[in-house]
Every structure is written in structure tokens, then in C-alpha cells.
Structure 1
Amino acid sequence: MPVEIYHPFQNFNFSNRNCFLSGKPLSSEEEKIQVFPAWLMSSHNLADQSFKMLDESISTYKDLKLPCSAMINEQYLDPLETEVAAAAALGYEGMKSLAELKLFQWAGKILYGIVFNEIQAGIKQQHASGQEFNISQSLIHKFSNLHLMLQSIYLPIVFEDFKPFSLFLFKVNNESNEFVYRDEINTLTFSMRMKDFGLIICLQDNDANRNYHREILEKINGQTLHPIQFEEFNARVFYSAYLFNRLPEYNILPVGDETYIEAMPLRSMSSKPTFDFWQNKVYGQVLENFWKKWGFLLFEIIKNPESPMSFLLDADGNFISATAIELSR
């Protein structure tokens, strides 16, 4: 018998009375889980730290929650969290040993949890002013597909010969107890830097961003990065995710007790290139934000408009060793 896929965006069901993942009714509106797992908040004292929402309101990490059935949490989400927590405790080597699909599911649950909270806040705000809640069809498309794929956490869903995501994992010389989290929900891009690693995932691109950065990846993969190098690559990925101009389409095929998801070719969706034109000035603005800790300004970054400042590659295009980087600021 085919599994039953839940589609919350069909009826726009974002109440606290139904499990966010399965859609099943909950016994109480208090049946919730944290968006950011307790182990992560505890290890980096995040619980009471500010978390800015899209409407500029301020929440805290611990206030971000998801309605979730006790069964789903106990049988599927808790074991996933336990596995990722154990891997993260070991740092880069531990994270590297995890299956990429599990990292995708783990990061996807966090980012979808933020989306869920943003939508709930938006609905309340619009209803308070007597208006209908509006969201673009392209975002509904992206969020729906992410939610569909997150159901692989507890359902026998098979990705047929494709990865729905691009995943980048690097060893990074972070400061002890440093924690940096970034996301962009419009492009479904996730980034986290902690321990001795940095993780970036584009959650809905069918591995397109990884292919886009293939040339530089060949030079930096396997290298230990200085934090400023990781944030440079991070900026590149966040910018390319913005330039990615496809809305991936999928065929959903029930086969016995399993559900197969098949990706439609990205190239056949449009005659134009998969990514819009890269503009160094715009990239420089993104990089300025990612390098805020080190104080580099846009005019410095794009002093040479044809070749923005880089700590990853030298003038000849060769990787710069992290040990060679000395920052006075």
C-alpha cells in the first residue's frame, strides 16, 4: 500500500494542532519540539540569544518550536538528533562520517522549522490587520518540495538517482566555542560553522550549486580552511543560490510500499543558463556581509572590479594555505 504523503501547503495548515511532518492531529497544542535542537543550544548557550525574524521582530532560539507528534519525535527525530549530536561532538571527522542524506534531513528540519514559524507569524500579523496572508507561488513550490523530501525522515521515500541538495563540508580552524549560523529561506540555503568544521547546504537545487563551484572545489576540497576562507566560499554559495533560476520539478511514483521521487532535468525547463550572470559588485556586497567580523569594506573588496579580494585563491588561482593568512584586524 502506498505511503500517504502530507501536503501542508494545499490547505495552508500551519496550526499547532497537527504534526508539522505527518499532518496527524496532536493530543495537545503543547506537543512540540525545538527547531534548534537542545544539544546545540546547550553547547553554545543559544537558548536566550536573539533570533531576528523576517518582519524584523526578535525571537529567541528557544522560542522557535514545531508542533510534532510524540511518536514521530521519539522514533525518528530524536534518533537523528542523537546521531548528529554524536558526530558534531567529534567535529569534522564525525560529520564527514555521516550520510549526506542525514545531514540534509537534519539541516532541512531546522530551516523548514524557521519557515514554519515565519509563516505562522505572517498569518497572525495579516489576520490581525484583516488581510489575507499572501506568499509567492515560487516560494510555495520550494517549501512544498522541501517538506515532501523531509518526510523521508519517517517514510520509505527514495530519491531516484539524484540528490535534491548541494552539500559542502570543510575542516575549519575555528576559535574554540565559536558558533555562526546563517540561512536564506528564499533560496533555502543553510550554513553553520562550529567546532572544527563548516557546513553549507543548498536544500533545493538538485546538486546544481556544487556543480557550479566545481572548479574552485577541486582546489580547496580536503584543505583545512581559515574561518575567513570558509566565509568567502560561503558567500560564493549564498550568492550563486540567489542566481540559480530554476524551480526544480519532480515526479512522485508510488511503487509498492515505497515512494520514488524522480527529478526532471533542470536544463529542459528553460533555454537560458541555469544560473543568472555573476556580477562582482553584487557578490562583493554579499562578501562584505560575510566578512563583517574582519571589517573589510566593499570598496576594498572590489578595488579591482574584475578580480575581487580573495583569501582562498592567489593571483595565479592557487589555493592559499590557511597558515599563511595573517589578519591584523
Structure 2
Amino acid sequence: MAVQVYNPFERFNFSNRNCFLTGTPVDAEEERIQVFPQWLMTRYALEERPFKLLDESITTYKDLKIPCSTDLNNQFLIPLEEEIAEAFDKGYDAVKALDPIKIFQWAGKLLYGMIFNEVQSGIKMQYAQGEQFVMSQAIRHKFSHLLLMLQGINHPIIFDEFTPFSLFLFKVDNAPDEFVYRDEINTLTFSIRLRDMGLIICLQDNTANLRYHKQLLDKIGETPLHPIQFEEMCARVFYSAYLFNRLPEYNLLPVGEELYIEAMPLRGMDSRPLFDHWQGKTFGQVLENFWKKWGFLLLEIIKNPEKPMTFLTREDGELIPAGEVGLPA
């Protein structure tokens, strides 16, 4: 039987009465799962921690939920969570050994859970104002393709000779109980820092961001980073994801019971570079946000707008070892 693709963006059906991944009817009260997995919330005491949505409303990590059929959860999501949790518990080496597609599915499910909650909130807010909910065609395009690819969790969906995401994994000298999570929904970019590692993933770029940062990534290799270095790397990737100016297109090729997804060339008929021009001042603003913990102000960061402050490389371009990162007292 051919794979049946579910797309709630056609009619904006984001009811709690339909499973977020399959669209099958569910019990709106009983069949719901938390966006942030319980194992993660328990280990880092996240349940009651506040979480701000795009409409500025405040909820908690434990109250972010999505409708999910019991069968889907038991058969596919719980085993995925258990595999990811075990690897995260062991640390960097175990996570590196995971199938990258599993990490993509896990991170994508989490970020899509955020999207689901944001869309629900937006629909309710617009309805209360007597207005119709509107989403740009570009954003709808990205979100629906992400959901399509996540259906590989429970269907035989195969990426035909391409990888739809950029995955960055680093060793990081974190404090024992440190947990930092960030996302940027519009660019489908996600980062998490915990234990002895930091992970960044761009969920819909066909590895473009990975190639964009290749020179710096080659310098880092397996070298452990100081947390401020990882946060700088996050800022670089989040900013380049913003500069990425293509909307990847795909062909869907059903073959028997499998669905092959084929990527169209990113360049297409567009002669522009894949990324817009990097602006030092704008990047400095992004970096200021990622470096809030250390108190650096924008004026310090972009004292030289052409060369913003960096803790990753020296003047000669060589990587600064984590132990040599000099931070003000």
C-alpha cells in the first residue's frame, strides 16, 4: 500500500482531535504527548521552567503538548526517545554513533511540536479578533516539507541520494548540570547544549549550512570547545540559516510501499549565491544574544564591524583551544 502523506497545512487543521503526524482521530484529552520528552525534563528540572511563545505568552515546558495517537507513540516515538535518551546519557561519542536520520527525526519532532503550538496559538488569537489566520507561502512550504519528512518515523520514506538537513555536533566543556536550548522556527534551526556536547541542526537546507561553514568546521574537528565558543558557533549557524535564500523543492516518487524523496538542485534557475551577504554588524547583534550569559555588549562585539569579536580563532585564523579562552573576571 502506498504511503499516505498527511498535510494539515492545506486546511490548517491543527485540532487536538487529530494526531499531529498521521492526522488520525484521537481523544483530545487522553492522547497527547509532551513536546519536550519527559526524560529530558526530569534530568534538567525543566517541567516548571517558563517558556515564551512567539505571541509573548508564557507557558511551561511541561505544558507544551501535541495530539498523538497511542499506537504511534507506543510503536514509534517511545522507541525513538529511548534510543536518543540512552545516547544523550552516555554523551558525545554515543550521540556521534547514532544514525543522523534518528537525530533529525528526534529534533524535527521536537521543533515541529513547537510549530504546532505556535500555529494553534496564532489561530486562536486571530479567531478571537475576528480575523482569518494567515501564514506566508514560504513558511507553509518549509513547515509542510518538514512534516512530510518526519513521517519517515512511521513510514518507509527514503531520501534519494541527499540529506535534507545540516547536523553539527561538537564536544563542549559544559558544567555538569548545564542545559541550554534554542530554536528559530522561521529557519527551522535548533540547538541544544548539555553534558559533554553541543548539537545544532538546520532541518531544511539540504546540507547547505554545513558546506557554508566547512572551513571552520575542519579547524574544530574533534577539539573540545569552551561553552562560549559553542555559543559563537550557534550564532554563526543561526545567522547563516537566516541568510540562506532558497526554498528547497522536492519530487515525491512512490515505489511500491516506499516513498522516495528526491531533492531538486538548490541553484535552479537562480544565479544568486545560496546565501545573502554576511553583515558583520547584524551578526554582532545575533552574537550578543547568544553571549548574554557572559555580559558582552554589542558595542564591544562590533568595535570593528568588519571583524566582530571572536573566541573561536586567533588573528592568524588558527583555532583557540578551549583552555586558552580568556574571559573577563
TM range (shorter): over 0.9
TM-superposed CA distance for 1:288, in Å, is 0.7
Residue type at the aligned position of 2:57: S
Q: Displacement of 1:27 after TM fit?
A: 3.7
Instruction: Indicate conservation of the 8 Å contact 2:28/2:67, yes or no.
Output: no
- Cα distance in 2 for partners of 1:285, 1:82 equals 38
Residues 1:171 and 2:171 are matched in the alignment: yes
Corresponding position: 1:320 with 2:320: yes
1:308 alignment counterpart = 308
Instruction: Please list, as runs of the form range in 1=range in 2, the aligned pairs for 1:211-250 lying within 5 A after superposition.
Output: 211-250=211-250
Instruction: Answer whether contact 1:189 1:201 (CA < 8 A) is retained.
Output: yes
Residue 110 of structure 1, CA deviation: 0.6
Q: What are the Cα deviations for residues 80-109 of structure 1, in whole angstroms up to 9, with x where unaligned?
A: 000000000001111111111100000000
Q: Between the two proteins, what is the percent identity of the paired residues? A: 65
Could you tell me how far apart the structure 2 residues matched to 1:283 and 1:220 are?
20
- Deviation track 1:122-160 (CA, whole Å, cap 9, x = no partner) reads 111111111101111110000000000000000000000
- Supply the distance in 1 between the matched residues of 2:299 and 2:221 (Cα, whole angstroms): 29
In the alignment, the residues of structure 2 paired with residue 28 and residue 6 of structure 1 have an alpha-carbon distance, to the nearest angstrom, of 18
The CA deviation at 1:304 is 1.7
Residue 309 of structure 1, CA deviation: 1.0
Contact 1:246/1:269, CA 8 A, preserved across alignment: no
What secondary structure, in the 3-state scheme, does the structure 2 residue paired with 1:327 have? coil
Deviation at 1:76, TM superposition (A): 0.3
Q: Which residue of 2 aligns with 1:48?
A: 48
Amino acid of the structure 1 residue aligned with 2:194: M
Name the CA distance, whole Å, in 1 between partners of 2:177 and 2:9. Answer: 38
Deviations 1:24-57 (A, max 9, x none): 1114443101100000000000011000000111
- SS of residue matched to 1:86: helix
Name the CA distance, whole Å, in 1 between partners of 2:144 and 2:159. Answer: 16
Counterpart residue number, 1:190: 190
Total equivalences in the alignment: 329
Give the equivalent residue in structure 2 for 1:201: 201
Partner amino acid, structure 2, of 1:246: R
Equivalent-residue separation in structure 1 for 2:328 and 2:303 (angstroms) = 19
Output the CA distance in 1 between the equivalents of 2:321 and 2:269: 40
2:75 equivalent in structure 1: 75
* Alpha-carbon distance in structure 2 between the residues aligned to 1:10 and 1:270: 27
The one-letter amino acid paired with 1:81 is E
Tell me how far 1:271 sits from its aligned partner.
1.4
TM-score, structure 1 normalization? 0.99
Correspondence for 1:4: 4
* Partner AA of 1:303 in structure 2: K
**For 2:204 and 2:293, how far apart are their aligned partners in 1?**
29
The residue correspondences of 1:215-294 to structure 2 (distance < 5 A) are 215-294=215-294
Contact 1:16 1:67 in 2 (8 A): yes
- 1:138-185 per-residue CA deviation (whole Å, 9 max, x = no partner) reads 100000000000000000000000110000000100011000000000
Letter in 2 for 1:39: W
CA distance in 1, matches of 2:27, 2:190: 32
What is the aligned partner in structure 1 of residue 94 from structure 2? 94
Measure, in 1, the Cα distance between the counterparts of 2:269 and 2:286: 28
SS at match of 2:262: strand
User: 2:9 aligns to what SS in structure 1?
Assistant: helix
Q: Which amino acid aligns with 1:186?
A: N
Which stretches of structure 1, 4 residues or more, deviate above 2 A after TM superposition? 27-30
* Root-mean-square deviation (Å): 0.8
Alpha-carbon distance in 1 for matches of 2:184, 2:263? 23
Report the secondary structure of 2:230's partner residue. helix
- For structure 1, which segment, 27-36 or 58-67, has the greater mean C-alpha deviation from structure 2 after superposition? 27-36
- Residue 10 of structure 2 aligns to a residue in which SS? helix
Gaps of 5+ in 2: none
How far did 1:296 drift? 1.0
Q: Distance in 2 between matches of 1:49 and 1:19?
A: 26
